[in-house]
Structure 1
Amino acid sequence: MKVVILAGGLGTRLGEETGIRPKPMVGIGGHPILWHIMKIYSFYGFNDFVILTGYKSEVIKDYFVNYYLNNSDVTVDLSTNNVEVHNNTSEPWKVTMLYTGRNTLTGGRIKKAQKFIGNEPFMLTYGDGVSNVNIPKLIESHKQSGKLATLTAYQPEGRFGSIDISNNGQVNKFQEKPKEGGAWINAGFFVLQPEIFNYISDDDNAIWEQDPLKNLSKDGELNAYKHDGFWHAMDMLKDKIDLNDMWAQNKAPWKIWKD
């Protein structure tokens, strides 16, 4: 099953950081948050990634094109231009980087990935949020629901949109900006059937969190997997500081893999 990651946004609320790199490339403990997200999926055996790029896409491309050498010990013979690689610590990842436009919105980016995904179920998440969500249990919830889409629902202290979920896991209402706190929010980590592409228009301005998700909910095709563990988005500079502090103190709940 392929893993699609939205990694094309501007991330303006991170200040100077995103003036030189896209938001998913902002670092936590010396690695981009995008790397951390991929490590979560890879821990469960999912290593086929489609990265939907946009703003400063060349930074992401350069990172993965040079990943093998940058994560290995090397000897370079300058007289012959021969490079010998030692002690490679690369990942078992296949990474497709798909440029989806600098200003394309989330729905438009996902729609452009359709030809790379084919007629198979796939996973989708945002390139700025880490979690210790149990991916196999998430997939099982999706299969048992029989619905076209499953999102991971999380209950934070506040500041995000809310989801009204029935006891059987069906999403009854998707609300982007609730007025009350303590509600369930969309934390990404989706499992999706290929039919969801029918809910997204051929428009770069299509927003996944608006008509597509709302119409899936209206049609009874949106399931929620309730996650009561850890989830944290890197939305502002404080979030970056908090995540880096967790990593530095060896208290990063999303680090489910071994070094």
Structure 2
Amino acid sequence: MKIVILAGGFGTRLSEETLKKPKPLVEIGSMPILWHIMKIYSSYGFNDFIICLGYKGQMIKEYFMEYTLNQADVTIDLSNESKSFEIKRKNIEPWKITLVETGLDTMTGGRVKRIQPYIEDQTFMLTYGDGLSNVNILELLEFHKLHGKMATVTAVQPEGRFGSLAISENNTIKEFIEKPQGDGNWINGGFFVLEPAVFHFISGDSSVFETDVLPKVAGEQQLVAYKHHGFWKPMDSLNDRNQLDNLWKTGNPPWKVW
């Protein structure tokens, strides 16, 4: 099954990093967030990726073209006229990666539409190139198969932006919660499972997946939520990036399921 990753946006809210590189190449630890996302899927046995490129997409191509060289031990024999090159040791993921130019200004729905020729008539998964989670991909896929609808979206409850105080009648604080789990509302957390019929709901490059496509699918009673109660965090700002980086440095980040 193919995994589609949206990696073409400008990442303007993370301009401290994205002036020089595309957002999916912003590093958590020493590896791009895109690598972390792919490792999540790969840990469940999904290794066939389609990456939708846009802003600074050539840098993502260069990253994967040089990936084996950068991860392996190599011997370069400069004394040989042919300057032989030999990879001695490599611990490389078994990934097949199709990098698709989906346009600089194309919206999210349009990017999905552009990779239709690579999907053919198969169920596929879709996610964003800037969010991490410990969602169980196999359970998500099984849930999708059981309900038999066109689309499944992983629904999450993000942590609250501000702390929460439980205050008694005499103004004594009964409970202090630094970052509560949202306000009870569920939001789109990405990590979709989609049937190819979804392409019929995408009109073109200007189509936004979240506001143009999904409402139409929902209107046909074909969109189902998979509720994820575990870890989920997008990388929308430099503060988000730093939080994820600090979690990685603990040695046991919650999205590291491999």
TM-score, normalised on structure 1? 0.89
Name the counterpart of 2:168: none
State the partner residue of 2:128: 126
- SS of 2:209's partner is coil
1:26-62 CA distance string (max 9 Å, x none):
0001000000000000000000000000000011000
Determine the C-alpha separation between the residues in 2 that align with 1:107 and 1:5.
12
Runs of 5+ unmatched residues, structure 1? 160-179
Amino acid at match of 2:242: I
Please name the residue that 2:77 is paired with: 77
Q: Could you tell me which residue of structure 2 aligns to residue 4 of structure 1?
A: 4
Q: How far off its partner does 1:89 sit?
A: 1.1
Larger Cα-atom Rg: 2
Map of 1:1-259 to 2, 5 A cutoff?
A: 1-79=1-79, 80-158=82-160, 181-201=183-203, 203-257=204-258
Percent identity (aligned): 57
**Which deviations, in whole Å up to 9, do the C-alpha atoms of 1:202-250 show, x marking residues without a partner?**
x211100012100111110001100000001000000000000000011
* Aligned match of 1:174: none
- Distance in 1 (CA, whole Å) between partners of 2:90 and 2:158 is 40
Secondary structure in structure 1 of the residue aligned to 2:253: coil
* C-alpha displacement of 1:21: 0.7
Please, which runs of 5 or more residues in structure 2 have no aligned partner?
162-181
The SS at the match of 1:15 is helix
4+ runs deviating over 3 angstroms: none
- Measure the CA separation in 1 of the matches of 2:194 and 2:240: 28
Measured after TM superposition, the shift of residue 81 of structure 1 is 2.0
TM-score, normalised by the number of residues in structure 2: 0.89
Contact 2:107/2:208 (<8 A) preserved:
yes
How far residue 182 of structure 1 moved from its aligned partner, in angstroms, is 3.2
Report Cα offsets for 1:106-138 as digits up to 9, x if no partner: 000000000011100000000000100001110
Let me know the Cα RMSD of the aligned residues.
Answer: 1.2
Letter matched to residue 28 of structure 2: I
Q: Per-residue deviation at 1:11? A: 0.5
The separation in 2 between residues aligned to 1:96 and 1:82, in whole angstroms, is 29
Aligned partners of 1:117 and 1:233: how far apart in 2? 26
Structure 1 residue 4: Cα displacement? 0.2
Query: 2:236 & 2:129 partners in 1: Cα distance?
Result: 11
Q: Distance in 1 between matches of 2:199 and 2:160?
A: 30
